[in-house]
Structures are given as structure tokens and as C-alpha cells.
Structure 1
Amino acid sequence: MAGEGVCQHDELLLECSPWAEETGFERPDAVKRLAATTRTGRNPLAAKGKSAQVVKKLSQEAAEQLSASFPGPLLLPKDELNWDPDYPPQSCRSWLIEPARNKLTPERKTLYIAAPPVVTPGVSFMDAWTQPTTVPASELHEIDPPSTDDSLQYLSAFYHGLPVNMFPQSLRFVPWTEPSRHTKPGGGHGYVGLACNDVCTRIRTRETPDKKFKRQLNLNDLLDAAIEMLPNDAYSIIMLMNFDMYEDDDDDFCCGRAYGGSRVSIVSSARYHPSLDVDEGIDYDHMWPASHCKTFADSLCAIEGLEPREHIISIYETQYSPIQQAVEAARKSQIPSSAKDRSGLWFSRVARTLAHELGHCFGMDHCIYFACSMQGTSGIAEDVRQPPYLCPVCLEKVAHAIACEFQERDQTGKEEYVKERYKAIAEFCEIWKHVDLFASYSAWIQARLQQLPD
């Protein structure tokens, strides 16, 4: 029996929404999408003697079959691609020849994850900065924040085949003693220090523009600190942060960022707190995978004055497809209300962003080919509509980096790696099947594995 309030509409939108045309976004066509999955940049269906028309027809047929596993980017009003519809695509070929791309080596292969820094007594005032100001304190204490160990286990599955270790040093927030022009009379704190061993980095702070937290930490300063602490054997490091962050003066907030070339990244859990969902306009009925509901997409387009169009695929036409199986799993869920459910929801959001930011350390840019974990996002509402999986283009990049370049496998070995990786993620999702995102992701993976050849 379906959970109360869960989307029950029967039509899925597997291409871009009609709003994409209004923005001027042009998704790469089927021929280019297939070509983007190859290291050569050639469409695998193009063979000597085949006309362009034949290749186009075959590619369109293949794309239609693939869409029920990997739909197109939704591109709804106010989404990231709405503001930047000309964002350039990054094919597997362009990723492969990118000069700044970091390659895995036997000496530099470990993904490190650093736990949130400890607040020392000298800066105990920072403890209040981690709590949303718009939520009663009693509600906040009921929900457990995402744990570093759970995050490590998820990344170990998502980047299967690589060692993922805890960063061995404890990070600490300490007083910054230099005078600050940002310090205000009456106890304002313009700077704090982030210490690792005997190295301390100055971190700027500011009042939060939207007042949802008391203060924010500067993201660029935190990334500078991460660069300083990067171990010699690290492929990359990702730092967990439970404080709200900002990148520059024009930002309201920022949940995560990576300096891909420097192999460092940071993710904040602050804005993913479920208690902020009402303020953020989160629609629990239409988080991924129900975000592909055509009725839902039409309703958001209608707010901008765009009439619904015949641009649909019935859910029953894709009965055993990965996206349909994910939707069916979501229909069995309940709106998260218990402390355990809300804690799981919080973790699932952070886990997806951790995988995304580490993807940048692999040299992957934001994806525009498909709905994909590597899509850019303009805010929390869009973030929860995006899938946790990698699309065919981005999966090819990760599989090539780990299976081919690092593990020295051939094409057959790479295909085996893809299945091994899916199974590792499915095992993680089984442990976390009480969380809607992971239950749906597991169903999607199981259906996808059925499609892959033995």
C-alpha cells in the first residue's frame, strides 16, 4: 500500500521538461550522447558504409530504450540550467584528454574523508552556529546528524575499488588571535582558526544573510586548509562540515565545493537539515525518483505560464525499467516523520553531495547529458530532485579511471567492474533500505543489473 501523500500519478517525464525550450537549452542529441560515452568520441553505432541518416535512426532508437533507465535532465524553472542553458558538455573523450585531470596511481590512490572539526573551549560560541535559528531547539536535538563512518561506507561503495580511509588527524576550531577588521563591538567574531596538528589556517566568518543560521564560514578559506593537510598518498580528501558556508559576498550559502585540480573538496550538512524543508519548499511527494512525474513538472512550468504539452511516457510502458522500479519503491514509502527517518533523510542528501564533489576531484564537470549525480544544482529543492546514480557518460569516466587506468583491466574487465560497483552500492542500500532514497536507488540498480549482459 502506498505511503500517505506519495505521488500516485502514472506518467513519467523521461526527456527535458518543456521549460528547457523556453530557456534556450539544447540537450545534445542522441547521436552526440552515444558518442559522448566513448573514449574515441565516435558514436559506437557508426560503422563504415552507414549513412548519417541510418546512424541517426539507430541512435534515436537506442536513446529511447535508454531513457527509461537514464532520463534526460528535468530542467525545471529556477534549476541550474535555467540560469546557464549554454553550459558546455564534457564528453568522455574531452574528460580523457583534459590536461588538468588527476590520474590514480599506486602511490596516490586513497580517498580520505575528514570528520567535522571539533569546537574547542576557546571558541565554544561556535556551537550555536551549527543550529538552524528558525527551528525549536527541542526538534533539533531529536535528529542525529550524518555520521562520518556512514559517509565513508557510502563513498567506498560509490567509488568501488579504491581505498576510502578516515583522515588520521583530528581537526579543531580554535581562536584566531590576530586583530580582525570584521570583529564588531559586543562580541562579533570575524575570524576563527582551523588547526591540524601544528598548522592553523585563518577562516573568515560572517553573519548569515537569510538569518537561518547565526554565522557562516568562508568556503575558500576551508579549501585552503584542506590543501595544506592533503596526505602524500591521497588521491583526494573531502572534509565534512556541520557549519553553514559561503563562497563570496554574493552568495547566500553554499553546500559544497571542490578544487578538483587540487584534489580537495568540502561538503556542509547544514542546509540539508530536514527541519529547514518547509522554508526551502521541499515537496516530499516529488523527490527523486518521483521528480520525473509529468504532472509535477507541468505544475512548476505552469507557475511560469507554460501550458502542459504532450511529452510523456506512461509508467506502464516502462513497467520493468530501472526508473519505474525506483518509482514503485518510492510509492511504498512514508513521509519521513520519526527521528530515525529524518536522520536517514538528512544523511542521504549529504551522501549524494559527497559523491558529487568527489566526482570533481576525478576531473568530472557538471553533466548536461542526462539526469545525473554530476548535474549542477541551484538550491536544495533542485538537489533533492536529482538522482544518486551516474549517467552513462559519467559512469564511463569513473569506470575508466578505476578499472582501466588504476586496475589495468581491459574492456571486458571494465564491464565487470561496472556490475561489481552496482552490486557494492546495492549492498549499502540494503542496509539503509529504511531510507527512501536508498530504497529507490536499490530498486533502480537491481533493474539496471537485469539489463546488463552476462
Structure 2
Amino acid sequence: MAGKADCQHNELLLECSPWAEEAGFDRPNAGKRLAAATKGGRNPLAAKGKSANAVKKLSQQVAERLAPSFPGPLLLPKDELNWDPDYPPQSLRSWLNEVERNKLTPERKTLYVAGPPVVMPGVSFMNGWEQPTGTPVNELEGFEPPSTQASLEYLSAFYYGLPVKFFPQPLRFVPWTEPPQRAKSRNSHSYVGLARDDYCTRIRTRETPDKKFKRQLNLNDLLDAAIAMLPDDAYSLALLMDFDMYEDDDDDFCCGRAYGGSRVCVVSSARYHPALDIDESIDHEHMWPTSHCKKFADSLCVVEELEPREHIKSVYETLESPLRRAVDAVRRASAPSTRQVFNGLWFSRTVRTLVHELGHCFGMDHCIFYACNMQGTSGMAEDVRQPPYLCLVCLEKVAHAIACELQLCDQAGKEEYIKARYRATAEFCEAWKHVDLFAAYGAWIQGRLQQLSV
């Protein structure tokens, strides 16, 4: 995209930005981060006979070695952790002990994906609701909504080891018929039905408060529909939407939500449309991985009257580190502003949210330990700054669920599973390397696999 060569991203921020201190965020220290990735909840470097200072020093050395692979959450002004700096951490141990966590079983292990429902003639008034209203029609030509098939393929790699299938029944939007006396008091577009076979769920709609789209669908109603259609052999179900969504009356919009305990999630691609990037102040030059550019982070902090400061550099930050490989992959890429590039960008944003919401179905909470796909987000600008990978703690949760609980692997088997999962994801990224996020993610994975092979 235009401007990519303007910043060389020579200095990478591997810990939280200075704004974290202003926000009151206290990131778990090196020892706690290491402990969070263990089943017992204890720092693996702590051993009988070692002094507390020795353990602290060793933990910091390990943290420096890991930082170029798994940096800290950026926490820039207006980010999610800025508004909620005391968000509680979820360690592997606390995840394992979560009473409501759903475990994978041989009978219930399939991830189902339901593509956007077809708009039937009876609700043809919905046609056009998925298009941004502030963009001229001729400028929207050539944009293609994220592919459901490609989404399924990405899920198969990201949650490697689980069968991923299309939902077997076609979904359609149909008219919703109400009793005449109630219908008189309602706009005829206030409800639509989401149907499969002869079963139909009422979906509320409303005008979009910020006028970015004509109307929105109610997220809670869509989640209710997803729960009702969950197959018996499903571990979880993801329902994809082209239309904008809202959760409650106070929301402007919502891109996705999971009912983790019910094993369903709904994700909308609407707000990820590249035509909205100018309105959302998206900096194409500093999406992940270049969001870790210190010059960029400092510029956002300066806006809030916080002066740049020296940051802690990892002694292990080399040209071969995963994050540096990812940044260089983006710098090398030639990315003219074509529809193919923007369609790939649209898809990459949507599936990043899709795997995040399905992570909640695995019982994972928002992550505060590292920059991670499971971080919470406060909006589009932060969303595109976050990485596609799972951090050390969250990856342990997924690997334990699939390799240990489902496949009954031991520790060695789990470690092999993690490598196989990385390789499967890298293969997907290679096929999509014309998209910056996947080119960078593939380079990051190669760096990580090299580290794991040592």
C-alpha cells in the first residue's frame, strides 16, 4: 500500500509502550508469565536451593530471549487495556480449572462453519445493507466478501487436528410474520427471520447509529439462532455474517461475539471493509507486525503529551528473530493498491477475529500476558495492530485441549503437535502470501520453527 517505504521500522518495541504506565497497567512479570504457561502454575525455573534473586535473574533472561518472538501487548492510547488495565489474567492452570470449560471428546470435536445466509426475495429490502453507505457505488466495485471456503481452510490450520466442516443446512433470511396488531406498531423492516428447513428465528434489525450502513442485525438474536442449530457432533459453530451487527441499544456496532459456554460465535465482516479505513484512521503502514515499530508507538503517545523514552531492547533481537522476519517480509512485499490486495486485507481481518471468537468457545479469556490473538480490542485501529498468532500461554491451552485431552498425547506428543500446527498454518500462509498479514505470519512461523528445532 502507499507509503510502505516511508518508515523502515528499524527499532521494534518488544514490551508495552510507555502509555501502559500512564494507564495503570501492570503486566505480569517474567516469572509470572513463565508460570502462567505451566499446568501447575509455578515458575519452571524455580527449584529447591535456588535463591529468589537467582530465579528472578534467570526468568528475566528467558523473557529477553522470548521477547522477539512474543513481545508484550503494545497498550497504546485508547486500546482496550487502557480502559480496563486491571483485567484479570487467565493462566493455563486457571483455564484447566474452569468449571464451565467445554472439553473436546471423540463424539464432539467438529468445528462447523455456517456461511452468510442467502437473502430470499421476500426480504429483498435487505439487499445493500452489507455495503458501506458513505462510499460511492462505483468505488465498491470489485470488492469481494471474505470467502467462507478460505475461512474454513484457515480454521483447519489454526485449530489443526480438529475436523472443520460446513454447516450441512442452507441458511436463508426470510420475512418474519407477526400478529397484525403488533405488526402495525412496527416498521416493516424491524424484524427478519433466519431460517433453516422449517425452523425460523426472529432477528431484530435497526437503523445504524453512525450511518456507516443502512441497517444492522441484532447479535444476541443471531447467537440464539446459532445455539438452536448446533449439530450433535459439534464442538462449536461459527456463523459468518456480511451484515453489520449490534449487541444492545448502547452499541454503535459489534464485529463478533462468542457464547463460549454454549460453543457458538457470530462474526461479521462488515466493519472490516477496507472502504471504511479512512473513517477509522487505519494506518496501513503500521498494521501487525509493523505496529511494533517504536517510532509509530511513540507518535501515538506524543499525541497524548507523553514524550518518547528509551526502551528495553532484548539482547536476543537479531535479524533472524520471528518478529523481525515478519517485519522484513512486509517491507519486501510489493503491494499496489489493487482490489486483490484489499480483498485479501478484508479476509485477513475477518478470520483473525473468527479464530479469536472460537478461542472463547475453547474457554480462553482475553490475554494480557503478551501481544496475542486472544487480546481484547477496543476498535478497528487496535484490531489491525494485534498479531494473528497465539502467545505461549494461549497456545498451551489449545495444544492441551487438542493434543492431550482429545488425542491423549504425552508432553512429547504435545510438543510435536505444536510444530505440526505451525507447519499447517505456514502452508496456508504460503498460499496467501500476496496478503501482508499472511506473508508476515508465515515468516514469523518459520522463525519460530527454527527456534523450536534448536
For 1:148, the equivalent position in structure 2 comes to 148
For 2:378, the equivalent position in structure 1 comes to 378
For 1:283, the equivalent position in structure 2 comes to 283
For 2:58, the equivalent position in structure 1 comes to 58
SS of residue paired to 2:330: helix
For 1:272, the equivalent position in structure 2 comes to 272
Shift, 1:199, TM fit = 1.1
Q: Distance in 2 between matches of 1:316 and 1:7?
A: 23
For 1:450, the equivalent position in structure 2 comes to 450
Q: Distance in 2 between matches of 1:152 and 1:228?
A: 21
What are the residue-to-residue correspondences of 1:12-411 with 2, within 5 Å?
Answer: 12-178=12-178, 188-313=188-313, 317-335=317-335, 337-411=337-411
Call closer, same or farther: CA 1:387–1:4 in 2, change over 3 Å. Answer: closer
Shift, 1:332, TM fit = 1.5
SS of residue paired to 1:267: strand
Greater shift in the superposed pair: 132-141 or 439-448: 132-141
Q: Distance in 1 between matches of 2:51 and 2:74?
A: 32
Call closer, same or farther: CA 1:451–1:316 in 2, change over 3 Å. Answer: closer
SS of residue paired to 1:12: coil
TM-score by length of 1: 0.97
SS of residue paired to 2:70: coil
Q: Distance in 2 between matches of 1:434 and 1:310?
A: 35
Shift, 1:179, TM fit = 5.1
Shift, 1:284, TM fit = 0.5
Call closer, same or farther: CA 1:6–1:91 in 2, change over 3 Å. Answer: farther
SS of residue paired to 1:441: helix
Q: Distance in 1 between matches of 2:253 and 2:5?
A: 30
Shift, 1:287, TM fit = 0.3
Q: Which amino acid in 2 is paired with 1:123? A: V
Shift, 1:6, TM fit = 5.4
What is the RMSD of the two structures over their aligned residues, measured on CA atoms?
A: 1.8
Shift, 1:141, TM fit = 2.5
Shift, 1:315, TM fit = 11
Q: Distance in 1 between matches of 2:137 and 2:173?
A: 23
Which string of whole-angstrom CA distances, capped at 9 and with x for unpartnered residues, describes residues 91-110 of structure 1? 00000010000000000000
Call closer, same or farther: CA 1:376–1:181 in 2, change over 3 Å. Answer: farther
Q: Which amino acid in 2 is paired with 1:268? A: S
Q: Say if 2:67 and 2:314, in contact at 8 Å, map to a contact too.
A: no
Q: Distance in 1 between matches of 2:386 and 2:127?
A: 31
Q: Which amino acid in 1 is paired with 2:139? A: E
Q: Which amino acid in 2 is paired with 1:382? A: E
Call closer, same or farther: CA 1:213–1:252 in 2, change over 3 Å. Answer: same
Identity level (%)? 75
Q: Distance in 1 between matches of 2:74 and 2:417?
A: 29
Shift, 1:314, TM fit = 8.3
Q: Say if 2:322 and 2:448, in contact at 8 Å, map to a contact too.
A: yes
Which string of whole-angstrom CA distances, capped at 9 and with x for unpartnered residues, describes residues 48-72 of structure 1? 1112111111101100110000000
Q: Which amino acid in 2 is paired with 1:330? A: V
Q: Say if 1:180 and 1:190, in contact at 8 Å, map to a contact too.
A: no
Q: Say if 1:10 and 1:316, in contact at 8 Å, map to a contact too.
A: no
Q: Distance in 2 between matches of 1:315 and 1:200?
A: 59
Shift, 1:198, TM fit = 1.3
Q: Say if 1:181 and 1:190, in contact at 8 Å, map to a contact too.
A: no
Greater shift in the superposed pair: 118-127 or 181-190: 181-190
Call closer, same or farther: CA 1:314–1:96 in 2, change over 3 Å. Answer: closer
Q: Distance in 1 between matches of 2:264 and 2:336?
A: 33
Which string of whole-angstrom CA distances, capped at 9 and with x for unpartnered residues, describes residues 239-264 of structure 1? 00000000011111000000000000
Call closer, same or farther: CA 1:181–1:45 in 2, change over 3 Å. Answer: farther
Q: Distance in 2 between matches of 1:279 and 1:264?
A: 31
Q: Distance in 1 between matches of 2:317 and 2:453?
A: 22
Greater shift in the superposed pair: 196-205 or 70-79: 196-205
Shift, 1:337, TM fit = 1.0
**Which sections of structure 1, spanning at least 5 residues, go unmatched?**
none
Q: Which amino acid in 1 is paired with 2:217? A: L
For 1:416, the equivalent position in structure 2 comes to 416
Shift, 1:188, TM fit = 4.9
Q: Distance in 2 between matches of 1:59 and 1:24?
A: 23
Call closer, same or farther: CA 1:72–1:4 in 2, change over 3 Å. Answer: closer
Q: Which amino acid in 2 is paired with 1:388? A: P
Q: Say if 1:336 and 1:342, in contact at 8 Å, map to a contact too.
A: no
Shift, 1:76, TM fit = 0.3
SS of residue paired to 2:129: helix
Q: Say if 2:110 and 2:163, in contact at 8 Å, map to a contact too.
A: yes
SS of residue paired to 2:258: strand
TM-score by length of 2: 0.97
**Which sections of structure 2, spanning at least 5 residues, go unmatched?**
none
Q: Which amino acid in 1 is paired with 2:104? A: L
Q: Say if 2:169 and 2:196, in contact at 8 Å, map to a contact too.
A: yes
Which string of whole-angstrom CA distances, capped at 9 and with x for unpartnered residues, describes residues 160-180 of structure 1? 000000000011101111159
Q: Distance in 1 between matches of 2:184 and 2:376?
A: 36
